[in-house]
């Protein structure tokens, strides 16, 4: 019989709708009274390290979860399920995917509807996450996200709708598996996985979004601060308005790593255009192109690389390759 560690961290899956219709956290997580339907097949070790709304989650809490998982694996746990608020779920999942050395299945899940709402999806997602974690095929596939009967990789999944229960999608590539009643099926997997050991978190890594008519002001303001790195969701394939360039250069002159991703929902940032503000010129200036990650995940990858004290060359190689 497999033993699955359950780490409840809060979020909508642990909240209830009040009389006024507002959704609020409770003192007790309703999932603590979950009636295990797998009794005799799967043992659940349930713990509550946090009870936080998703926007309250920080990299510091993510590192705490990572350490708890490593400790549990050394004690012989067979897999881990994490319940989490959906707003930052993809970020916690990706952080763990980068920093966990474990081969045991780690699955993150949540809910779009609170525990007492009509059509609440929390218990179903929790149950399918347990099923996936207990599946032999989930071993060695990195951190997974299970929502709405679909299995996604932490690396590429993202929240795409504010309220829909089918909000979690993997643009371009699609899910890697599905759950149908008691059957867990995988039909693809990541080519490579990367493990980066860290024991602390570097702060002050920022994320900016480019827009038409953007000037240098935000870049200049950041250059005056004691910051560690910047990720820019650039236009199209990875381009910026020319007025931003003096501010961008001010950051690069201070050896602050600047990472370029696309603000587009699908596709990959690439240095394609050779004009003022075009990707080719940005790369020549020293900006790092991150191929295939969205802004929030590129920020975490940069943060992890900096927390691991990577050299500038190693950091550029690590951040630019979304395949590993």
Q: Which residues are catalytic?
A: 12
State how far the Cα of 151 lies from the Cα of 143, in Å rounded to an integer.
Answer: 10
What phi and psi, each to the nearest 5 degrees, are found at residue 154?
A: -60, -25
Phi, psi of 261 (to 5 degrees): -125, 175
Angle at 257 between CA 171 and CA 246, to 5 degrees: 100
Q: Which residue has the tokens 């209830």?
A: 16
Angle between helices 89-99 and 59-74 (to 10 degrees): 50
- Size (the chain), residues: 324
Strand runs labelled E in the chain: 2-8, 15-17, 23-25, 42-47, 79-83, 106-109, 143-147, 150-153, 158-159, 168-169, 177-180, 183-186, 205-209, 229-234, 258-262, 288-289
74-179-13-80 Cα dihedral, nearest 10 degrees: 0
Number of Cβ within 10 Å of residue 239's Cβ equals: 23
Cβ contact 44:127 at 8 Å: no
Q: Is the dihedral of CA 263, 267, 271, 273 positive or negative?
A: negative
């Amino acid at each position: 019989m497999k033993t699955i560690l359950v780490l409840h961290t809060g979020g909508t899956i642990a909240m209830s709708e009040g009389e006024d219709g507002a959704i609020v956290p409770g003192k007790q997580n309703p999932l603590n009274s979950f009636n295990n339907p797998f009794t005799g097949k799967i043992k659940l070790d349930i713990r509550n390290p946090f009870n936080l709304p998703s926007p309250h989650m920080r990299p510091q809490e993510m590192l705490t979860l990572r350490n708890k998982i490593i400790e549990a694996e050394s004690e012989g746990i067979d897999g881990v399920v994490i319940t989490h608020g959906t707003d930052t779920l993809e970020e916690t999942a990706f952080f763990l995917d980068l920093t966990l050395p474990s081969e045991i299945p780690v699955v993150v899940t949540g809910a779009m509807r609170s525990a007492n709402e009509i059509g609440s999806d929390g218990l179903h997602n929790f149950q399918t996450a347990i099923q996936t974690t207990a599946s032999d095929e989930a071993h060695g596939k990195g951190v997974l996200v299970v929502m709405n009967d679909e299995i996604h990789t932490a690396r590429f999944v993202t929240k795409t709708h504010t309220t829909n229960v089918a909000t979690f999608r993997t643009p371009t590539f699609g899910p890697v598996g599905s759950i149908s009643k008691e059957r867990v099926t995988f039909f693809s997997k990541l080519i490579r996985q990367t493990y980066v050991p860290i024991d602390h978190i570097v702060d002050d890594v920022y994320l900016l979004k480019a827009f038409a008519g953007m000037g240098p002001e935000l870049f200049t303001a950041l250059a005056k601060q004691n910051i560690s790195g910047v990720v820019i969701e650039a236009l199209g394939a990875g381009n910026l308005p020319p007025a931003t360039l003096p501010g961008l250069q001010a950051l690069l002159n201070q050896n602050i790593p600047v990472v370029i991703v696309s603000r587009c929902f699908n596709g990959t940032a690439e240095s394609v255009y050779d004009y003022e503000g075009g990707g080719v010129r940005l790369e020549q200036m020293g900006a790092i192109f991150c191929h295939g990650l969205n802004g929030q995940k590129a920020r975490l990858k940069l943060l992890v690389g900096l927390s691991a004290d990577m050299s500038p060359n190693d950091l550029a190689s690590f951040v630019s390759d979304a395949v590993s």
